[in-house]
Structure 1
Amino acid sequence: MSKTATTDPSKGHLGVRTGDDYRASLDDGRELYLDGKRITDPASHPAFKPSVDELARIFDLQHDPEHAPLMTWKDPDSGLTLGRAYQPTRTLEDLRAQRRSAELWLRESMGQHGRSPAFMSSIALGLYDFRHQLERNQTGFGANAEAWYRHCATNDLVLTHALGDPQIDRSADPVDDPDLALRVVEENDKGIVVRGAKQLTTLAPTAHEVLVYLSASFTQRSAEQFVVWCALPLNTPGLITLCREPFGAEPWGHAHPLAGRFDEQDAMLFFDDVLVPWDRVFLLRDGALARTGLGRINAWSAYIGHIRYRERLRTLLATATMLAESIGVDGFRNVQEELGKLATYTEMTEYFIDAAEARATVTDSGLLAPGDTAASRVWSAEVAASAVAVVRNIGSAGVLMQPTENDLGNERLRPLLDRYMRGKNIPADKKSRLFRLAWDLTGDSFGQRQDLYEYVHRGDLARNRINIFKRQDQTEIRSRLERLISGPAGPTTTAHTPEGERS
């Protein structure tokens, strides 16, 4: 039997949220599991509360007179004050205003929030921008996309998206084994019924809605029956959210200063014959359109993603610099070279953001979309591990062995810690917190997760490189090279005959 949603996660809210609005909205009856137990209210559960509180804190900044002009905009259609990331960008100034707002969101999370509302809201904007193409897929789908975008924007919803299919047998075709991909099993007058699973849905336990769209891999296998784009509240009956083990939940005080605040949680979504109402369906069975749309609807999110990555690099660079200073190696040439490498990465990311603005184009719906960033996204994935390695190399063994707060408070241990675990012009307690921060950023479960995230969240790296290669227009340069190699390799010369040998 199919199921359909019964509760609207917006709870009648209109306009930008407060932190308390956000906390209350998560108690919506969703089917959420952690470690075999069902969680009824993620906002109050110890595994989720710190990250919920962190997002709530940033939501409150939207109402702060200092930040509201940057983080919000007045929608002329509804008259409501909405989140800046939802604003349709029609001019370069609109685009740069969205950039400045995202910079604030992502600076507040030190670049650790990959699924920040600043990121996901821009995908809803991308879907809105693509609505005319979706309308060609089936009458009403474009209107559905516009209505969903407006619903998300006016209710200031926290969104996530579900792209990846289960890792069951990637060598097989989903046509032969339907469990390999989410699929439509029924159509009726109410909507479509979907069955299957999606991974890796970051932020799902603390988001309101999920946007489901096809991963690029299956569009290339001509499995058209698996092509479905839709959106659902995360409390939809039959939609089950299974969380991974949380990070930073251990009671070790300052040992996890980042994980304790910024662990977004990743989840598997199981669709147990879920009814998706027709007004929440955006695309069906058109693999070519899905391939085109995948890039189009992510134009703004890719741009915002660079802003987030720049903030992460800035955090890594500052941490590495402080580590070097704390142990007196900041003047060493090899250490300065490593810091210079990380500083170069940070500046390069700034160039990519500027280039996306400089190459912005007007779409068929009249919005100004950031220019393509595919090559710079590949570069970001390629250098991610190297950026983390700089921090690890400078901190070296020190990031592995640092005292806890309880160690620092122990009367027997403290004199030894002050004598042997201090740094250069930095006391033992502050140095230990700095090195614990570096460990949390690069080495522990949270740090390793963040490192892996940088590598995988931009999509399959090999496929992205191949796509960039295939779209290169080499016609002109190949033509010149063909002319160059069509004749002798160098000037033609007459053989020299010595004077005495002439007849």
Structure 2
Amino acid sequence: MIRTGTEYRESIRDGREVFVNGDRVADVTSHPAFRSMVEIRTRMQDMAHAPDTRDLMTVTRNGEAQVLLNALPFAQADWWAKRRATDAVLDMAGGIVTRIGDETVGEMWSLHDCAAALNDIDPRFAPNIIAHVDRAVSADLFHVSGNAGPATDGTEMALRVVRETDAGVVVRGAKYETAAAYANQAFIKPTLTNWGDAEQSSRAIGFVCDMATPGLKFLCRESFATRSPAEDYPLASRLDEADTLLIFDDVLVPWENVLFYRHTRAAMQVRATLHRYSAFAFVQRNLRLADMLIGVALLATRRSGLNRQQPVQEKLSQLALYRETINAHLTAAITLAERSPAGLMMPNQSLLYAGRMQAVSQLPAMIHLTRELCGAQLALMPDAAAFRAPDTARWLDRCYAGDDWTAKDRRRLMAFARDLLNSDYAGHRLTFQLFAQGPPFAQLAAVYRNFDWEGPLALVKDCAGLSESISERDSLSAGDSTVSKWFATVAPQGVAAH
């Protein structure tokens, strides 16, 4: 079933306990803090039904139409299709939206890959995993996740199971998640932690939570969308996603919603593979952000004529290098995609995680570079009201109009650039990009786990003429094994030549 936008809106009018600035929200679909994002999600749902976008946003599997972004990836072509569909959604939104579902539903595909391993650890929950992976596709739910929490290990609000019942487990604690207030369900998993020698823990719990579950409370931060006029803050007013602290006040999780429980080895297995799919959508957002940085910088420098100067062209080239580095990693991750243990098609893991780290680590410098190219007008441009008021508009028109630029267009560009680079919203988005899929050390750890260290090792061993005692030759493969199979003249052992 593919829901319409109206059906989505009605699904989140379920009496959930949502609070903004301490006040209870009566209807998340109409509250100013959520209204614009609910509208984007509504329009996204309707794209799957509209004649001009239906084929772009859906796929037919087993005779049933499915939302493409939720559908399991079985072939390289599925990833090209997902990339096109995500770009179409971001075009519709007119900016960057992180939580539209394509990023978070990928964690369910990781669970699909882990099902057999988790079954070996505790066979009670593997059928639940398969059922929920299927439901995420067939029910067309807005699925998010809950990972990090504000409480440290051992404190009262660190999420944990407080008791078991015949109906399920009762959990207490807190988790953060963006867009939870207007989502349908979330995959709640343990915070990244060091389990030490412990084999079991009440905090080693992963489950699917219906957002209308009794006892669940949503404490949302103040919205940037409600702070300032849309004319002066065109991004924040439309695209501020509601970061939420989820409070689990003795929430009952039915046994059929539990995906793993108590075994720390299960929690570590899930954490190690959690982003093998969802990182792709995350990096694709950075590509869109890079395009926005380039567009702002290019328009600002062309208006002033500075784009003809070599030092400015060098700075623009640095932005282009940043953009194309992200693009290359995304493209190569699809081109050299790999089979997962459960038979799904994964983006090339080493390239994907390396691309994510490159995009995130260089982002602050690229934002500052764009700020330099835009100049001081980011901070000095008067607001929209001044351009309308009779006593001030005539002076501003004379100051800011020139060549092919009207004063209105010049103000609009600087308002957009300010919201992208300099505003509270801009600072929040930068921090979000840096930490959304884990702190930098965790992202570097993913690079370490997935890079083919054996290739460079074999290369230097052979070039240096080291003896066989250094390591077993059969365990090494010269060069990048994923790339090598595309141009090797001799098929690797056990692989038939094509």
The TM-score bracket by the shorter chain reads 0.7 to 0.9
Matched, 1:59 2:45: yes
Pairs within 5 Å for 1:318-333? 318-333=295-310
Matched, 1:18 2:4: yes
Cα distance in 2 for partners of 1:466, 1:178 equals 27
- Tell me what 1:11 maps to: none
CA gap of 1:51–1:106, structure 2 versus 1, over 3 A, is: same
Shift of 1:352: 0.7
- Tell me what 1:238 maps to: 215
Shift of 1:480: 6.0
Matched, 1:147 2:131: yes
State whether residues 95 and 235 of structure 2, in contact with CA within 8 Å, keep that contact through their aligned partners in structure 1: no
CA gap of 1:438–1:221, structure 2 versus 1, over 3 A, is: farther
- Tell me what 1:488 maps to: none
RMSD, matched Cα: 2.3
Pairs within 5 Å for 1:379-418? 379-418=358-397
Which region of structure 1 is more displaced relative to structure 2, 216-225 or 438-447? Answer: 216-225
- Tell me what 2:102 maps to: 118
Shift of 1:236: 0.8
State whether residues 228 and 237 of structure 2, in contact with CA within 8 Å, keep that contact through their aligned partners in structure 1: no
- Tell me what 1:42 maps to: 28
Cα distance in 2 for partners of 1:424, 1:295 equals 56
- Tell me what 1:32 maps to: 18
TM-score (norm 2): 0.87
CA gap of 1:247–1:221, structure 2 versus 1, over 3 A, is: farther
State whether residues 28 and 235 of structure 1, in contact with CA within 8 Å, keep that contact through their aligned partners in structure 2: yes
- Tell me what 1:205 maps to: 181
- Tell me what 1:6 maps to: none
Query: Whose RCO is larger (CA < 8 A, sep 6+)?
Result: 1
- Tell me what 2:441 maps to: 462
Cα distance in 2 for partners of 1:312, 1:109 equals 13
State whether residues 137 and 283 of structure 1, in contact with CA within 8 Å, keep that contact through their aligned partners in structure 2: no
Query: Tell me, which stretches of 5 or more residues in structure 1 are unaligned?
Result: 1-14, 486-503
Matched, 1:431 2:415: no
Pairs within 5 Å for 1:97-108? 97-108=81-92
Give a deviation string over 1:18-57, Cα, whole Å, max 9, x none.
2222222221111111101111211011121111112212
Pairs within 5 Å for 1:169-318? 174=153, 177-179=154-156, 181-199=158-176, 201-219=177-195, 222=198, 224-225=200-201, 226-318=203-295
Q: Which amino acid letter does the alignment assign opposite residue 373 of structure 2?
A: I
Q: Which amino acid letter does the alignment assign opposite residue 339 of structure 2?
A: V
CA gap of 1:464–1:399, structure 2 versus 1, over 3 A, is: same
Question: Number of paired residues?
Answer: 461
CA gap of 1:108–1:344, structure 2 versus 1, over 3 A, is: farther
Cα distance in 1 for partners of 2:78, 2:348 equals 14
For residue 440 of structure 1, the aligned residue among 407, 410, 419 is: 419
Shift of 1:475: 4.5
Shift of 1:447: 0.9
Matched, 1:72 2:54: no
Q: Which amino acid letter does the alignment assign opposite residue 165 of structure 1?
A: G
Identity fraction in percent? 27
Pairs within 5 Å for 1:359-398? 359-372=336-349, 373-398=352-377
For residue 476 of structure 1, the aligned residue among 458, 469, 490 is: 458
State whether residues 32 and 225 of structure 2, in contact with CA within 8 Å, keep that contact through their aligned partners in structure 1: no
SS class of match (2:207): strand
Cα distance in 2 for partners of 1:192, 1:347 equals 48
Cα distance in 2 for partners of 1:180, 1:484 equals 55
Cα distance in 2 for partners of 1:459, 1:349 equals 19
**Structure of larger gyration radius:** 1
Cα distance in 2 for partners of 1:221, 1:310 equals 41
- Tell me what 2:324 maps to: 347
Cα distance in 2 for partners of 1:366, 1:178 equals 40
Q: Which amino acid letter does the alignment assign opposite residue 40 of structure 1?
A: A
Shift of 1:245: 0.8
Cα distance in 2 for partners of 1:289, 1:359 equals 29
Q: Which amino acid letter does the alignment assign opposite residue 42 of structure 2?
A: A
Shift of 1:114: 1.3
For residue 122 of structure 2, the aligned residue among 128, 131, 138 is: 138
Shift of 1:267: 0.9
Cα distance in 2 for partners of 1:222, 1:482 equals 44
Q: Which amino acid letter does the alignment assign opposite residue 107 of structure 1?
A: D
Cα distance in 2 for partners of 1:369, 1:101 equals 18
CA gap of 1:75–1:89, structure 2 versus 1, over 3 A, is: same
State whether residues 110 and 275 of structure 2, in contact with CA within 8 Å, keep that contact through their aligned partners in structure 1: yes
Cα distance in 1 for partners of 2:458, 2:86 equals 40
State whether residues 319 and 366 of structure 2, in contact with CA within 8 Å, keep that contact through their aligned partners in structure 1: yes
Cα distance in 2 for partners of 1:379, 1:55 equals 29
Shift of 1:469: 4.2
CA gap of 1:75–1:140, structure 2 versus 1, over 3 A, is: farther
Cα distance in 2 for partners of 1:424, 1:391 equals 23
Matched, 1:82 2:66: yes
SS class of match (1:66): coil
